[in-house]
Amino acid sequence: MNYKEAMEYIEFLQVLGSVPGLDNMINLCGKLGNPQDKLSFLHIAGTNGKGSVSAYLSAVLKEAGYRVGSYNSPTIREYRERICIGGRMISKNSFCELLTVVKEACDALVSEGKPHPTPFEVETALGFLYFAQKQCDYVILECGMGGKLDATNLIKNTKVAVLTPISMDHMTFLGSTLSQIAENKAGIIKPGCMVVSAQQSEEAAEVIERVCAGHSIRPVWVSTEEATKIRYGLKKQSFVYQGKLEVTISLAGKYQIENALLALKVIDVLRSEGVRISEKAVLKGFAAAKWSGRFEVLSEKPFFVADGAHNEAGARKLAQSIQFYFTNKKIIYIMGVLKDKEYDKIIALTAPFAQQIITVRTPDNPRALDAYELAQAVSRHHGSVTAAGSLEEAVEMSYLLADKDSVIVAFGSLSYLGRLMDILEKRQRKV
């Protein structure tokens, strides 16, 4: 198939939705020769921060001379971003060739009376095939949702299980309590692997400790006290790690210090197991790491910031960063959310800092909440809210409301940020 046909096939698969469980993946990867068994993984689960931690680890291991695959979702601007090696996304030719192979395997399963794999299962299997074909030394594998029943959890060769902060999200699938969600996320922990966790709530930490004890594993915990002399900024931030290593990162947001600490702890654990990673590779990797749509400054005068805060924990961190970086500034929001999210909590946490809120419906997404319905929800917390008819209209409205010292923040769902970035770039070319 060509690239147009490939994307049409992916679009066709969307009707299959999401089905937790590993049976489909076992069947599909079995048809493909189990390419995942040829790979070594750093497996990342958690609620927020997975992509940023993945970006740091990928950049450092690349600088250390390793061939590093990374699998992340969702993507911001280009579908193929989710499957990368050394920071470069899979080529269109490779994508089409491998999707053809995966499609044939799916068709064979259906002919045997088995269910057709879901879009995420197809993408994950394709990623395994690509990484095995390119003989990656390590694959940094981000869970799509949860952990225990996530399609990525088919893998056996987990070198490090990495847990970012766990909070309430995807309750329909993962459970109604933090303990249940933590149990699901901790399902990526396997006998013989190493476990590194960010600081967790007491409830989540107890679950992780118990799961680790069941596998005779002693988890390694990250402490925020390991970062001193922190210098925050919108273009670069720095801190001293464990009192001796001055690390600089290019990602903005107060929470990125915590993400960087988690990645540094994973690197420490890898080094303790004999993986060669020089101090130079660590410093260059952290400075070079990029991750789009996470408190990303897209333009200045006025500042235009894009952030993927789409749940309660993400909204709380976004609010903290807005307070910290933009005190006493006029702030305008562009907000679009999915209807299956706890958007009322997101609104309650973020609304107090905005002078004006513009709501949008995220385009081409059946899960998107209507802009007018979102505006009604916002009006319960804020007196100045307007529903825009399109992303283009929202961007123009935000600039009309702003002056050069204002701040425009677009957030609520990663699913529309790529389109918004395209609109912004087009607008800037005209100005």
The position carrying tokens 């100005």 is 431
**Shared-domain flag, residues 264 and 361:** no
**Does 35 map to a domain?**
yes
**Shared-domain flag, residues 341 and 206:** no
Of the pLDDT bands very low, low, confident and very high (cuts 50, 70, 90), residue 260 is very high
**Shared-domain flag, residues 60 and 13:** yes
CATH number, residue 357: 3.90.190.20
**Shared-domain flag, residues 302 and 393:** yes
**Shared-domain flag, residues 103 and 156:** yes
Q: Is 246 a residue whose pLDDT tops 90? A: yes
Of the pLDDT bands very low, low, confident and very high (cuts 50, 70, 90), residue 366 is confident
**Shared-domain flag, residues 182 and 84:** yes
Q: How far is CA 234 from CA 74, 237, 300, in A?
A: 24, 7, 11
Q: Is 18 a residue whose pLDDT tops 80? A: no
How would DSSP label each residue in 321-336?
HHHHHSTT--EEEEE-
The position carrying tokens 């309430």 is 168
d(CA 217, CA 231): 35
126-181 residue pLDDT tens? 999 999 999 999 999 999 888 899 999 999 999 999 999 998 775 566 767 899 99
**Does 334 map to a domain?**
yes
3 state SS of 417: helix
> What pLDDT score was predicted for residue 173?
66
**Shared-domain flag, residues 209 and 311:** no
80-102 residue pLDDT tens? 999 999 999 999 999 999 999 99
Q: Which domain holds residue 162?
A: 3-223+257-269
The position carrying tokens 């969600």 is 181
**Does 235 map to a domain?**
no
**Shared-domain flag, residues 103 and 149:** yes
**Shared-domain flag, residues 219 and 338:** no
d(CA 117, CA 414): 24
CATH number, residue 175: 3.40.1190.10
**Shared-domain flag, residues 20 and 66:** yes
CB atoms under 10 Å from CB of 82, counted, come to 21
CA 82 to chain centre: 10
d(CA 41, CA 37): 10
Of the pLDDT bands very low, low, confident and very high (cuts 50, 70, 90), residue 289 is very high
**Does 279 map to a domain?**
no
